[in-house]
């Protein structure tokens, strides 16, 4: 392999260390995020764990999208088992934790409900996770185009900026989607309730009028016999 090829090869090989698909960011520490939506059956407790490094931060945002009172118990435990946050029967919440090394556990608790399942959405935003990687070292392998370097760096800075803002847009979009899903579920349950109780109302009204007429008639049937 010629030296140029070798450098290009090394550069390409170091690329994965720098790209988003690995969850590690180059030139700026950006957040890694993942979101999940799950159905929490009645009377169940679901726990999730996340391995964290020290001096990183973890932001967790959750929302109850569907199910009766739209509330759930939430708690976060540190790697040493200490309770960090405890939310009782909240419909949504957000917590940020400055982390140490270890596995953090967070739990959604639906044990207080005996009949209704809850649909829970949560989003984890991790920051500063790449403390042990050196994202700048691949730049040493880029050769040639020296005169363009200064301008290129400015362009790169702008592009990185735009990327950061777009990631934030995506996060906000995810959140808005969760809000909308919750409102939609509320509305659909309203719709069903209106339908159901309207029909019940109609049936009850007709039955009551029939019963009333029958009772009054039967009252006067007896009286006739007494008269004669």
Partner 1 sequence: MQPCVLALLLLALFCSRAPALYFHIGELEKKCFIEEIPDETMIIGNYRTQLYDKQKEEYLPASPGLGMFVEVKDPDEKVILSRQYGSEGRFTFTSHTPGEHQICLHSNSSKFSLFVGGTLRVHLDIQVGEHANNYAEIAAKDKLTELQLRVRQLVEQVDQIQKEQNYQRYREERFRQTSESTNQRVLWWSIVQTLILVAIGIWQMRHLKSFFEAKKLV
Residue 38 as a binder of partner 1 (CB under 8 A): the answer is: yes
Question: Phi and psi for 191 in degrees, rounded to 5?
Answer: -55, -50
Residue 4 as a binder of partner 1 (CB under 8 A): the answer is: no
Owner of token pair 């180059």: 26
Half-sphere exposure of 127 (CA within 13 A, CB side): 12
Q: Tell me the sheet residues that pair with 96.
A: 59
Question: Phi and psi for 71 in degrees, rounded to 5?
Answer: -140, 155
Residue 112 as a binder of partner 1 (CB under 8 A): the answer is: no
- The CB-of-48 to partner 1 minimum distance in angstroms stands at 5
Nearer to partner 1, 17 or 68 (CB): 17
Which of 94, 96, 209, 211 contacts partner 1 by CB under 8 A?
Answer: 209
Which of 55, 98, 136, 180 contacts partner 1 by CB under 8 A?
Answer: 180
Q: Which helix (H) or strand (E) holds 15?
A: helix 3-18
Sequence-ordered strand ranges (E) for 41-101: 45-52, 57-66, 72-77, 83-90, 92-98
- The CB-of-32 to partner 1 minimum distance in angstroms stands at 8
Torsion of CA 76, 81, 83, 86, to 10 degrees: 40
Show the site string, 135-174: x = touches partner 1 by CB under 8 A, - = not.
-------x---------x--xx--xx-xx--xx-xx--x-
Q: Tell me the sheet residues that pair with 72.
A: 90
Interface residues toward partner 1, by CB under 8 A = 5, 9, 12-13, 15-17, 19-24, 32, 34, 36-39, 46-53, 119, 124, 126, 129, 142, 152, 155-156, 159-160, 162-163, 166-167, 169-170, 173, 176-177, 180-181, 183-184, 187-188, 190-191, 194-195, 198, 201-202, 205-206, 209, 212-213, 216-217, 220, 223-224
């Amino acid at each position: 392999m010629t030296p140029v090829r070798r450098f290009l090869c090394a550069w390409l090989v170091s690329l994965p260390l720098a790209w988003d698909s690995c969850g590690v960011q180059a030139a700026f520490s950006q957040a890694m995020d993942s979101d999940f939506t799950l159905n929490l059956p009645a009377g169940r407790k679901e726990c999730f764990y996340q391995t964290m490094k020290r001096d990183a931060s973890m932001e967790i945002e959750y929302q109850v999208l569907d199910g009766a009172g739209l509330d759930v118990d939430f708690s976060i435990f540190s790697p040493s088992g200490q309770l960090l946050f405890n939310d009782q029967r909240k419909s949504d919440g957000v917590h940020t934790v400055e982390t140490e090394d270890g596995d953090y556990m967070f739990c959604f608790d639906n044990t207080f409900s005996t009949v209704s399942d809850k649909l829970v959405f949560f989003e984890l935003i991790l920051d500063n996770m790449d403390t042990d990687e050196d994202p700048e070292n691949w730049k040493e392998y880029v050769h040639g185009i020296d005169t363009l370097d200064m301008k290129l760096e400015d362009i790169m800075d702008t592009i990185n900026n735009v990327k950061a803002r777009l990631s934030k847009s995506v996060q906000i979009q995810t959140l808005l989607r969760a809000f909308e899903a919750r409102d939609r579920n509320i509305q659909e349950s309203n719709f069903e309730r209106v339908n159901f109780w309207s029909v019940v109302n109609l049936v009850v009204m007709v039955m009551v009028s029939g019963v009333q007429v029958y009772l009054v008639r039967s009252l006067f049937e007896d009286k006739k016999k007494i008269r004669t």
